[in-house]
Amino acid sequence: PISTSPRSSRSATSRCLAAKASISRFLSARTGMTGSRGSICTLVIASRAEARMKAFLKLGWAMHSWLQTKRVPSWTPDSRGVVHVSTVDNYLYLYDLATRREQKLTEEPTQAPLGIVSPDGKWLVYQSSAEADISIRARPIEGGQTRVVIETPNRANYHPMVSPSGTWVYYQVDHKNVYRLPGPAQGWRKAESQKITNFPESGLFIEDPRLSMDGKQLIYSRGRIVGDLWLLKFGAAGGK
């Protein structure tokens, strides 16, 4: 408990002012910021406040630098890790929240990074740009051979999803209709793709499809690309 006696308050205030001056110098050296950023004294009243604040700022600065090189994050099913792509080399990584260690998951960089871990936590299913067109690939989290789930010549495959049972892998082609193929629970057996949605594809654009938690419903946004024809008449000297 913090004493509220005048003597205790004056002592805390003195320590706070000293800490504030030190922290201001620390911030100025690290960030170039000068001047007051609010009343630090209302927060810092412990004798070890300066050291704690420095540690907090140091951690925040390190996290900021770390996050600057990560994008497209997604949780692992057990919420113990985050899959992300590094902006440094465009490989997919798994970050373990407990150990704070990273594990490289893919063998090739990708310019279309989007990956998801299967519900059993054993597979990474992701978009790959290793070939001329975007394909869907799968790789064991613990390491092993990467397999091509679907590769469509002259078309791009996006937004892989794994059903809760692992029976199916869903994906879409060219942001149009959604398809599915046998997933890890079926041993990735070879089969013809099953068409799940059946919209006319002229002008169709489907984005960000998602399976429900029980795998019984699919939600997505659907739009149509439309256009107008405009007639431009040139002047007497134009267009010749």
Question: Between residues 36 and 112, which one has the greater pLDDT?
Answer: 112
Under the banding of pLDDT at 50, 70 and 90, the label for residue 2 is very low
> Which residues make beta-bridge pairs with 219?
210
Query: What pLDDT, on the 0 to 100 scale, is given for residue 217?
Result: 92
| CB-CB contact of 111 with 129 (8 Å) | yes
Phi, psi of 186 (to 5 degrees): -105, 15
Per-residue pLDDT at 74: 86
Of residues 21 and 33, the one with the higher pLDDT is 21
Q: How many CB atoms lie within 10 A of CB 92?
A: 26
Choose from 1-10, 59-68, 100-109, 172-181 the range with maximum mean pLDDT. Answer: 172-181
Would the pLDDT of 61 be above 60? no
* Whether the predicted pLDDT of 131 surpasses 60: yes
- The answer, yes or no, to whether residue 68 has pLDDT greater than 80, is no
**d(C-alpha 26, C-alpha 214), whole Å:** 52
| pLDDT tier for residue 203 given thresholds of 50, 70 and 90 | confident
Confidence of residue 51 (pLDDT cuts 50, 70, 90): low
- Mean of pLDDT values over 5-13: 52
How many other β-carbons are positioned within 10 Å of the β-carbon of residue 80? Answer: 14
